[in-house]
């Protein structure tokens, strides 16, 4: 009986020692995870970039056609870079080994990079669509006081061709209906312009009505787009939560999870 009791105590001691070493070893792994995730996070600062692009879009109404045209190209390239980087960062996080203690933080990081990717994709669609509309508007910048009737017809034909290339499908689903309405109204306006230019119609009131409807649909689209962007999740807040959790994991000295 005494021998059995001693064996039992020995087993308990071994379990206690094993648990003790496991706790410290596991804590080291948790801290290592925190270091790796922190490095991935440090290499990808997205919230400020996305915020800058969102603000630039909000201010687009204060800019002329040439400036918006240039911004669309520049911001589109920047968003492509963010989409690529966020995809890469998400894969890096997915590849990290996670334990019970680190799994929630890993999931949070994956969710963060996924949200960055989604927001960048949405912004790219909005800015790309606006860029396509601006390409149509830019044609009218070629019309001057000396433009003759034949040149006017040619420019309207060019504008209609560019209008036909406008794709509402690149936009977030929530604002596609508004974009389709804008495109349809723009097509009607261009058709009325063509009728007047070709002398097929001399009813200027219809042209005025078409232009008024186009302007209204344009305002509705921009309002819908700004609302969608304004409702995006705050990436800065997500980053702060993630940073705090990474910092907390970096301070773990003993853990059995």
CA distance 257 to 252: 11
Contact present, 211 and 189 (Cβ < 8 Å) = yes
Q: Which long-range contacts (CB under 8 A, 24 or more apart) does 76-79 make?
A: 76/124, 76/127, 76/128, 76/131, 78/49, 78/53, 79/53, 79/120, 79/121, 79/123, 79/124, 79/127
Encoding tokens for residue 22?
């496991």
Top pLDDT among 70 and 221 is at 221
Q: What is the model's pLDDT at position 24? A: 62
Encoding tokens for residue 89?
């960062």
pLDDT tops 70 at residue 231: yes
pLDDT tops 70 at residue 9: no
* Mean pLDDT of the region 73-101: 90
Give residue 4's pLDDT band: very low, low, confident or very high (50, 70, 90).
low
CA distance 237 to 255: 28
From 11-15, 102-106, 140-144, 218-222, the region with the lowest mean pLDDT:
11-15
The model's pLDDT over 121-170, given as tens digits with 9 standing for 90+, comes to: 999 999 999 889 888 888 877 776 667 778 888 888 888 888 888 899 99
Phi, psi for residue 204 in degrees, rounded to 5: -70, -20
Q: Is 237 left (phi over 0), alpha (psi -120 to 50) or beta?
A: alpha
Q: Number of helices (H) and strands (E) in the chain: give both, helices first.
A: 8, 0
pLDDT tops 60 at residue 171: yes
% of the chain beyond a pLDDT of 90 = 34
Q: What is the model's pLDDT at position 178? A: 95
Domain ranges for the chain, please list them.
Answer: 2-250
From 56-65, 80-89, 129-138, 245-254, the region with the lowest mean pLDDT:
56-65
- How far does Cα 11 stand from its chain's mean position? 57
Give residue 19's pLDDT band: very low, low, confident or very high (50, 70, 90).
low
Encoding tokens for residue 233?
């999740």
- Within a 10 A sphere around the Cβ of 16, how many other Cβ atoms? 10
From 19-23, 98-102, 210-214, the region with the lowest mean pLDDT:
19-23
pLDDT tops 90 at residue 208: no
CA distance 69 to 73: 7
The model's pLDDT over 210-224, given as tens digits with 9 standing for 90+, comes to: 889 989 998 999 899
pLDDT tops 90 at residue 120: yes
* Mean pLDDT of the region 65-93: 87
């Amino acid at each position: 009986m005494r021998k059995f009791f001693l064996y039992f105590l020995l087993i308990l001691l071994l379990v206690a020692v094993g648990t003790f070493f496991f706790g410290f070893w596991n804590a080291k792994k948790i801290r290592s995870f925190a270091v790796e995730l922190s490095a991935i996070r440090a290499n990808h600062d997205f919230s400020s970039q996305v915020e800058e692009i969102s603000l630039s879009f909000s201010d687009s109404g204060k800019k002329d056609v040439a400036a918006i045209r240039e911004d669309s190209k520049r911001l589109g390239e920047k968003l492509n870079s963010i989409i690529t980087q966020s995809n890469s960062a998400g894969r890096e996080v997915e590849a990290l080994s996670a334990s019970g203690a680190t799994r929630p933080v890993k999931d949070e990081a994956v969710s963060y990079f996924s949200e960055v990717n989604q927001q960048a994709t949405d912004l790219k669609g909005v800015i790309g669509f606006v860029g396509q509309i601006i390409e149509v508007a830019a044609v009218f910048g070629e019309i001057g006081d000396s433009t003759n009737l034949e040149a006017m017809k040619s420019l309207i034909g060019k504008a209609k061709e560019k209008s036909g290339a406008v794709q509402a499908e690149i936009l977030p689903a929530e604002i596609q209906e508004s974009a389709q309405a804008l495109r349809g109204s723009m097509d009607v306006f261009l058709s009325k312009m063509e009728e007047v230019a070709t002398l097929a119609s001399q009813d200027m009131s219809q042209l005025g009505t078409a232009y008024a409807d186009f302007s209204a649909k344009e305002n509705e689209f921009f309002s819908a787009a700004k609302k969608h962007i304004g409702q995006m999740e705050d990436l800065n807040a997500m980053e702060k939560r993630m940073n705090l959790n990474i910092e907390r994991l970096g301070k773990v000295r003993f853990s059995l999870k």
